[in-house]
Amino acid sequence: MKLTTLLTGAAMALGLATTAMAQDKTKVGFVYVGPIGDGGWTHEHDKGRLAVEAEFGDKVETVYVESVAEGPDSERVMTQMALDGADLIFTTSFGYMDPTINVAKKFPNVKFEHATGYKQAENVATYSARFYEGRAIQGHIAGSMTKSNIIGYIGSYPIPEVIRGINSAFIHARKVNPDVQFKIVWAYTWFDPAKEADAAKVLIEQGADVVLQHTDSTAPQAAAQEAGNVITFGQASDMAQYAPLPRVSSIIDDWAPYYIARTKAVMDGTWTSGNTWDGIGAGMVGIGEISDAVPANIKAEALALKASLADGSYHAFTGPLKKQDGSDFLAEGEVADDGTLAGMNFYVEGIEGDIPQ
């Protein structure tokens, strides 16, 4: 029992130390699931971290640990950051959810922000981006530009976020091209250049002339470039090094404004828990420059779609829509509510194949 007392004592002393320190320098920690050089997901979070440093200069100190496995390792890294006096910790992967909640219980004075999860607490807020809005624009361009009418899609894991993206892209591809088919390959990884390249090659061999990806590396872009006559879209990051072809546009996660705002809230003592789910309108989802490889009329349509998503006049999931099994999903003019979107585990009508179980 002595150890317990020691631990509680130390944690309390630390709690005091953190509040005292908050007056001079705010310390912000970031836990990353991949390497900062992945060119995708983690890279964008790290750009957000650098933006926080640039914004507040001497008033903040940021620390990060990259390639942290989900589970006990992440719990240890978060605890270590809290012990080292972090005031605010961003945990940037879905799998960090339970560890974040566990650590937050031990450090009530430290604020936590968990990306893409659904568990909140007094000192744990969640945030995510409406990537599916970007997928709608991708679907529009892909459906308009495909000649083989086969669009390949590299899925990471069959989870709601990814399924939402597939549905959104499919709905908007079908709108402009009723003959379009989706071929979906599950890579079961967020970041594995070798596997992603293989998946892209398989899709291209099956006749896909557009490859969409929900994985983070640039390997599918390279595979498409090699094959020629295949277009792709940057994922999470702009991947502009593959523009103008094969990369014709991209979905960019822009975490910087959110990270700056939340850091400022901690500095001002106005931070409160909550759930943020922002899209194109708030600037959390960016659409990368649409390259000249896209015909001007399609580009104009895509930009108009972007504008309507941004100002809220159009929702990416607007009825009439049916589910894959033919049952009703949304009535004419009805839009999907956030609860349905958050837990989406079905394909919309027209997509072939089953979601793996």
Other CB atoms within a 10 A radius of the CB of residue 308 amount to 15
Q: Are 32 and 42 in contact (CB under 8 A)?
A: yes
Q: Are 88 and 262 in contact (CB under 8 A)?
A: yes
Any contact of residue 15 with other proteins (CB under 8 A)?
Answer: no
Any contact of residue 342 with other proteins (CB under 8 A)?
Answer: yes
Q: Give 210-231 as a DSSP string.
A: EEEE-SSSSHHHHHHHHH-S-E
Within residues 81-120, the interface with other proteins by CB under 8 A covers: 81, 83-84, 94-95, 98, 102, 118
Q: Are 91 and 78 in contact (CB under 8 A)?
A: yes
Q: At its nearest, how many Å lie between other proteins and the CB of residue 10?
A: 6
Q: Which stretch binds other proteins (CB under 8 A): 70-78, 258-266, 303-311, 328-336?
A: 70-78
Within residues 186-225, the interface with other proteins by CB under 8 A covers: 188
Q: Is the CB of 72 or the CB of 228 nearer to other proteins?
A: 72
Any contact of residue 7 with other proteins (CB under 8 A)?
Answer: yes
3-state DSSP assignment of residue 278: strand
Q: Which stretch binds other proteins (CB under 8 A): 18-26, 44-52, 72-80, 165-173?
A: 72-80
Among 21, 47, 120, 160, binds other proteins (CB under 8 A): 160
Q: At its nearest, how many Å lie between other proteins and the CB of residue 159?
A: 6
Any contact of residue 319 with other proteins (CB under 8 A)?
Answer: no
Q: How far apart are CA 281 and CA 285, in angstroms?
A: 8
Closest to 148 measured CA to CA, from 106, 203, 202: 203
Q: At its nearest, how many Å lie between other proteins and the CB of residue 103?
A: 11
DSSP secondary structure code for residue 236 in this structure: E
* Torsion from C-alpha of 209, 210, 214, 216, nearest 10 degrees: 80
Among 12, 19, 20, 35, binds other proteins (CB under 8 A): 35
Q: Is the CB of 50 or the CB of 303 nearer to other proteins?
A: 50
Q: Is the CB of 277 or the CB of 314 nearer to other proteins?
A: 277
DSSP secondary structure code for residue 241 in this structure: G
Q: Is the CB of 314 or the CB of 346 nearer to other proteins?
A: 346
H helix runs in the chain, sequence order: 2-21, 41-56, 72-83, 97-106, 131-145, 160-176, 193-205, 219-227, 256-268, 296-310, 338-342
Any contact of residue 68 with other proteins (CB under 8 A)?
Answer: yes
The owner of tokens 């012990």 is 83
Q: At its nearest, how many Å lie between other proteins and the CB of residue 34?
A: 10
Among 47, 76, 264, 315, binds other proteins (CB under 8 A): 76
- Contacts with other proteins by CB under 8 A lie at 1, 3-4, 6-7, 10, 29, 35-36, 63-73, 75-77, 79-81, 83-84, 94-95, 98, 102, 118, 157-160, 188, 342-345, 356-357
